[in-house]
Each structure stands twice: as structure tokens, then as C-alpha cells.
């Protein structure tokens, strides 16, 4: 008994905001940039065309192009990668050794970014360089088996390196998804190149990084030629992978190599080069962290129509469908897009809405030297008007362009977008050309301009929550965030409208953001009469398939206005199965009596009486003490 009390006493002194010995991240401030809400702004030059981008630190966007004759050079060859500073809008060229053309990418559980696969060495005009004894004028060795690694930095010291071990199989257009232990699964692709795949070069397998041995056959990729490149793939909370390719959908259990077929895709092809906008909608306490994936737009072409059709004239589809694969094998329709789109980018905003931008109204991704192409572009009529999807709006009213101005820059094939920590959206790329191609006669030229878009909340005073931990785990104890009067607009009842969300911004390429995910943490609150409050915030659910380990941004959103996002590490920052604990119950929400506008709000939002809160706190404290005692006993 004495030792229990002793243990309780020790742990009471460590309990700061409900968390034991937690190191805190720096509290977020206000955005350092100004912008006009609802508008795009051209802010800089990416040096190389932004075919692939990701946010590596809160300030650095990494840009990867295919090999082409960019005027910026590095180490005696044209550059095809760069690091872009969001705060200064300056970029530095980076050296990547091999051809990154249509590679895949994602971030591992230890924070290392991977860029996987690519194409053979090429020369002027994007033509293959076939001399095996040299690397041609662009000095770009074969990238098909490459695994490129980058540990992002803020001091310009970091560079790309090649992993010691290559892929088992060359892959051009592979998908990369991260698994529960922070390692990567690499799926599909083609051996050589072309607008769509064919049986002669199909790579109907998956493999892992770090390697788990030979590639494993994935039959859906045999059945879904030719539109099976970059198969649309998400790790589901069940631990299965949703794989959507051409008109088929399947659940893949990568532990047993078994497929469970789901319903065929309605209305349109959604994978590249039809390139629908796709996204896993937010996983929240309200939907019990159930995954729903939405597909919008794309192109209605049958397998025999990809060649021999003037695809640039085909109107893109408007259809939007959703599937919750852990619950049902069937798709349901959601509100269609206001205009048809191929190559739409879907970006999670911290306020729970989805921002849709980029793409074309006719045609598809891809390019070629066809007489009917626009230059070389297989897409035409860029859609400049962004549109926002609100999953909470009534059916029929979920898409809206209210207050949103169009961009002045068409973003066609090989364009990209991602969310920045200040809640603006970074947009770049567009290059439906086989090589660097600019000039007054080139309609869809190689685009270097970087834009930012400023959502409706951008100029609001941002919450500055204190107490955000550097690491978020799976289950276990909750942590407390404190919010000031200013953070709550002087009314602690705004705690009722406050959420804590974690967003992985993903690896953006080809109208996909691989690994992009939005997860809301469970929370409750204690409001005080002076207009301040404390949020009690659970860690992630005790299941790493809800949100895999690795770096992500944490936002506290008060009445639709997000804090500036803080970089947090999900898990322990290492590869391997993360620790998973039972979730400790949150205290009930409560509002101190006498709160200014609190009349008639004697009970908290969840209907629980505030009077029980102190005893819950004591229970939590007691449980901490017991857990710590058991640990002490176990360890010695």
C-alpha cells in the first residue's frame, strides 16, 4: 500500500495535462504569410516542373520532375528535383541520380521519404537512350528499380540517396502505400512505358520496402489491363488494402495474399489515365473511424478504347461514388461534380472539407505525338474553378464554389497540390510534354509557377493551443491542450465546436496524394467562466491501420478556424510495429457555472453532467498510478 501511494505521488508530479512525461511541440502561432481568401496567388518558381511533390518539413516542399531539359542544371546535367521553401519562395536544385519519371512515393514510419520506380534513361525529346555503355546527354541512369531516400531538413544540408537495395522488379507507375509498421508496400506498374499498360510489360505484383522477399502476384492487375497503372490503394482500418484498378475493386489481405472482390466501379474509370479525384474521407469519432473512399470524375472508356480514340475530345465524367469497404462491398452515389473533371486533386482541409482543384474538362492524363493532341497533351479545356466538398452538408448541396475565384493557370497532366501547415494549399506543375517545352506557340507549356490558394479561414485569428505533444501514440492516456480567451473568441462554449485533427498531406502526383489521410482525435473539454478552456484529447485509436506511423500535421480547429499545423510524429519514429495500448477514458465535458453565455447550458454537449468530472479525474490518476506500479514490478 505504501508503495502504491508512493507511485501515485511520483506520477502525480509527472502528470502535466493528463500525460506522463510527454515532450511538447512548440505552440503554433499565426501564419507568417498574408493572402486573399478564396483566391490563388502566384508565389514563386519551382525550378523543375512539379510532377511529384511532398511536404518534408513545415517549411519545405520537395519537388520531383521527370528527367527533362530543365534550364536549371546540377552536377553537369539538367536538374529534375528541387527543394522549395514556403517561407522564402526560393528553391534549390537537388541531384537525383536516376530517372524519376512517373515514380511513386510516400513517407515511412521513421520520417524518411521514399521515391520508388521510374523509367529508363532518356535523351532529347523524351526518347529512350539505348546505349548501355553510357547514360546519354541527361546523365540519367535507369530508374525503374530505384528506391530513392530523403530525410528532409531545414538547413539545405539534405540530399537524395539511393537505397542500398533496389526493387526486385522494375516499376514505372507504381503505387506506394504505408503499412501498420511504417514500412511500404509497392504495387503494380509497367516495365517500359506507354499511355496505358499491356500484357507484354505488365507488372502484376507487389513487394515491400524494406524487402520481404520476392514480389507477390496480384491477380486483379492481370484482369484489369490496360488501365491498371498506379492502382488506387488505401490501407483500411481493418488492415486490408482496398485496391481499385480499371473497372474492378478488391480487398487485398497482404498477409495471406488473398483477394476478396468487391463491386465493380460504376460510371467511369477512375485510375490513371482517367484520373478521377480520389480521397479517403475523414476518419472521425462520429463515424467510429470507418473508412469511406470517394472517387469523382474520370473517363468512361472500355479496355479496347484507350487506343484508337481521340481521347482529348472525350468529356470527363462528373459522377461521384463512395465505398466503405470494411462495411459494404457496394458503391453509393454522392453529389456529382459541378463540371466533369479528369486529373482533379482532392485535398483535405483542416476544417473537414475537401478542396478540389486542377484537371481538365475533356480528355485524360498522358501525352503523345498524335495529330489530334493539343501539342502533345491528351487533356484539354483546363478547369480553373476550384470547388469545395462538405461531407456534412445535406445531399444535393455538398459541392460549392461560393466565394472561390478561379486560378489563372491551367494545371493539366503532371500537376500537383498539397495542404500547407498554415492551411493554404500549395499548387504547382503541369507539363503534358515529352521534354521541357516552352514558348509563345506552346499552349500547354512546361509549367514552373507555384501558386497558393487561401481558404475561407485563412485570415481569421488562429487558435494557439498550448500543450501539443511531439508524439502521438495508439491508445493510452489522453493529453490536455489549453485554449486562451482569444483562442475561443471569448466564449468557452466554442469548446463545443472544437476538434483536433491529424492530417498526413501525402505524396502528390498524377491527381493522387498517396498516403493522404485525415483523422480526428476523440476529445472532451473543461470550460471556465473566464472564457478559457482545456481540451482533453485522446491519442489515436489503438490501431495503427487507422493512421500509420510517421510524420503528420496536427491542427486544433475552433469553429472552423484551424490553428497553424504542428508537425507531430505518429508512433515512436521507428520502423516496426508500434506500441498499442488500451485507450483510457476521457473526462466528461464540463462547463464551469457562471460561464458568460452559459445560461441554459448546464449540461455539456455529450449530455453528461459536469459534476462527475472530478471523480473521473481521480479515477484516471489512480489508473495511472496502478499502471506505473505494475510496470515497476514487471521491470524489476
Binding site for Cu ion (CB under 5 A): 102
Give the residue closest to Cu ion by C-beta: 102
Least separation in angstroms between residue 40's CB and Cu ion is: 23
Distance from the Cα of residue 157 to its chain's centroid: 25
Least separation in angstroms between residue 365's CB and Cu ion is: 7
List the beta bridge partners of residue 162. Answer: 148
Give dist(CA 217, CA 517) in Å, integer.
27
Least separation in angstroms between residue 295's CB and Cu ion is: 19
What's the number of CA atoms in the CB half-sphere (13 Å) around residue 361? 10
Residue 634 backbone phi and psi in degrees, to 5: -65, -40
Cβ neighbours of 88 (radius 10 Å)? 9
Least separation in angstroms between residue 372's CB and Cu ion is: 20
3-state secondary structure 527-553: ECCCCCEEEEECCECCCCCCCCCEEEE
Cβ neighbours of 635 (radius 10 Å)? 6
Residue number with CB closer to Cu ion (102 or 412): 102
Residue number with CB closer to Cu ion (102 or 534): 102
Least separation in angstroms between residue 337's CB and Cu ion is: 22
Residue number with CB closer to Cu ion (102 or 468): 102
Residue number with CB closer to Cu ion (51 or 523): 51
- Strand pairing report for 184-187 and 122-123: unpaired
**Residue position matching grid coordinates 495500448:** 581
Least separation in angstroms between residue 132's CB and Cu ion is: 25
Angle 276-281-204 (CA atoms, 0-180°, nearest 5)?
50
Q: What size, in residues, is the chain?
A: 636
Residue number with CB closer to Cu ion (419 or 511): 511
Give dist(CA 69, CA 137) in Å, integer.
10
Residue number with CB closer to Cu ion (119 or 516): 119
Residue number with CB closer to Cu ion (80 or 528): 80
Residues 6 or more apart whose Cβ sits within 8 Å of residue 517: 280, 283, 348, 503, 504, 506, 547
Q: Are 451 and 40 in contact (CB under 8 A)?
A: yes
Query: What is the DSSP-derived secondary structure letter of residue 447?
Result: P
Residue number with CB closer to Cu ion (102 or 268): 102
3-class DSSP assignment, residue 81 = strand
Amino acid at each position: 500500500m505504501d508503495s502504491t501511494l508512493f507511485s501515485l505521488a511520483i506520477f502525480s508530479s509527472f502528470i502535466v495535462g493528463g500525460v506522463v512525461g510527454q515532450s511538447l511541440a512548440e505552440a503554433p502561432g499565426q501564419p507568417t504569410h498574408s493572402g486573399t481568401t478564396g483566391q490563388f496567388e502566384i508565389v514563386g518558381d519551382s525550378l523543375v516542373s512539379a510532377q511529384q511533390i511532398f511536404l518534408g518539413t513545415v517549411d519545405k516542399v520537395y519537388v520531383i520532375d521527370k528527367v527533362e531539359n530543365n534550364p536549371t542544371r546540377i552536377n553537369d546535367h539538367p536538374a529534375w528535383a528541387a527543394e522549395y521553401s514556403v517561407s522564402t519562395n526560393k528553391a534549390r536544385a537537388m541531384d537525383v541520380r536516376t530517372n524519376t519519371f512517373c515514380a511513386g512515393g510516400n513517407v515511412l514510419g521513421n520520417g524518411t521519404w521514399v521515391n520508388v520506380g521510374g523509367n529508363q534513361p532518356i535523351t532529347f525529346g523524351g526518347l529512350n537512350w539505348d546505349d548501355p555503355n553510357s547514360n546519354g546527354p541527361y546523365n540519367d541512369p535507369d530508374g525503374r528499380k530505384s528506391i530513392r531516400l530523403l530525410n528532409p531538413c531545414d538547413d539545405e544540408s539534405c540530399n537524395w540517396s539511393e537505397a542500398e537495395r533496389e526493387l526486385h522488379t522494375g516499376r514505372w507507375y507504381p503505387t506506394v502505400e504505408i503499412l501498420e509498421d511504417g514500412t511500404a508496400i509497392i504495387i503494380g506498374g509497367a516495365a517500359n512505358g506507354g499511355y496505358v499498360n499491356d500484357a507484354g510489360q505488365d507488372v502484376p505484383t507487389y513487394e515491400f520496402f524494406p524487402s520481404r522477399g520476392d514480389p507477390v502476384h496480384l491477380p486483379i492487375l492481370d484482369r484489369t489491363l490496360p488501365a491498371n497503372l498506379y492502382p488506387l490503394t488505401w490501407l483500411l482500418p481493418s488492415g486490408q488494402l482496398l485496391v481499385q484498378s480499371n473497372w474492378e475493386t478488391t480487398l487485398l489481405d497482404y498477409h495471406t495474399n488473398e483477394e476478396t472482390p468487391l463491386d465493380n466501379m460504376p460510371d467511369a474509370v477512375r485510375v490513371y489515365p482517367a484520373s478521377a479525384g480520389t480521397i479517403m474521407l475523414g476518419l472521425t469519432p462520429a463515424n467510429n473511424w470507418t473508412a469511406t473512399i470517394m472517387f469523382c470524375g474520370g473517363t468512361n472508356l472500355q479496355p479496347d478504347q484507350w487506343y484508337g480514340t481521340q481521347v482529348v475530345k472525350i468529356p470527363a465524367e462528373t459522377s461521384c461514388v463512395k465505398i466503405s469497404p470494411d462495411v459494404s462491398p457496394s458503391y453509393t452515389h454522392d453529389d456529382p461534380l459541378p463540371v466533369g473533371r479528369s486529373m482533379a486533386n482532392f485535398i483535405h482541409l483542416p476544417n473537414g472539407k475537401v478542396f478540389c482543384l486542377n484537371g481538365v474538362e475533356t480528355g485524360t492524363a498522358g501525352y503523345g505525338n498524335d495529330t489530334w493532341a493539343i501539342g502533345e497533351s491528351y487533356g484539354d479545356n483546363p478547369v480553373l474553378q476550384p470547388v469545395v466538398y462538405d461531407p456534412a452538408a445535406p445531399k444535393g448541396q455538398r459541392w460549392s464554389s461560393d466565394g472561390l475565384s478561379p486560378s489563372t493557370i491551367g494545371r493539366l497532366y503532371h500537376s500537383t497540390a498539397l495542404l500547407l501547415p498554415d492551411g493554404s494549399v500549395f499548387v504547382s506543375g503541369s507539363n503534358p510534354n515529352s521534354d521541357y517545352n516552352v514558348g509563345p506557340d506552346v499552349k500547354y507549356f512546361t509549367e514552373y509557377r507555384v501558386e497558393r490558394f487561401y481558404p475561407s479561414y485563412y485570415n481569421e485569428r488562429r487558435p494557439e493551443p498550448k500543450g501539443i505533444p511531439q508524439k502521438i501514440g495508439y491508445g493510452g492516456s489522453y493529453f490536455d491542450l489549453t485554449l486562451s480567451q482569444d483562442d475561443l473568441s471569448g466564449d468557452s462554449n466554442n469548446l463545443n465546436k472544437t476538434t483536433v485533427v491529424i492530417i498526413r498531406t501525402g505524396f502528390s502526383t498524377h491527381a493522387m496524394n498517396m498516403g493522404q489521410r485525415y483523422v480526428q482525435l476523440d476529445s472532451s473539454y473543461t470550460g471556465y467562466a473566464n472564457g478559457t478552456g482545456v481540451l482533453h484529447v485522446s491519442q489515436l485509436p489503438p490501431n495503427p491501420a487507422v493512421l500509420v506511423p510517421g510524420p503528420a500535421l496536427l491542427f486544433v480547429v475552433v469553429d472552423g478556424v484551424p490553428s497553424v499545423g504542428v508537425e507531430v510524429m505518429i508512433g515512436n519514429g521507428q520502423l516496426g510495429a508500434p506500441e498499442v495500448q488500451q485507450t483510457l477514458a476521457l473526462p466528461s465535458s464540463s462547463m464551469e457555472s457562471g460561464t458568460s453565455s452559459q445560461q441554459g447550458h448546464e449540461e455539456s454537449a455529450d449530455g453528461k453532467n459536469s459534476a462527475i468530472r472530478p471523480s473521473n479525474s481521480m479515477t484516471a490518476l489512480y489508473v495511472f498510478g496502478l499502471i506505473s506500479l505494475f510496470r515497476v514490478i514487471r521491470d524489476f
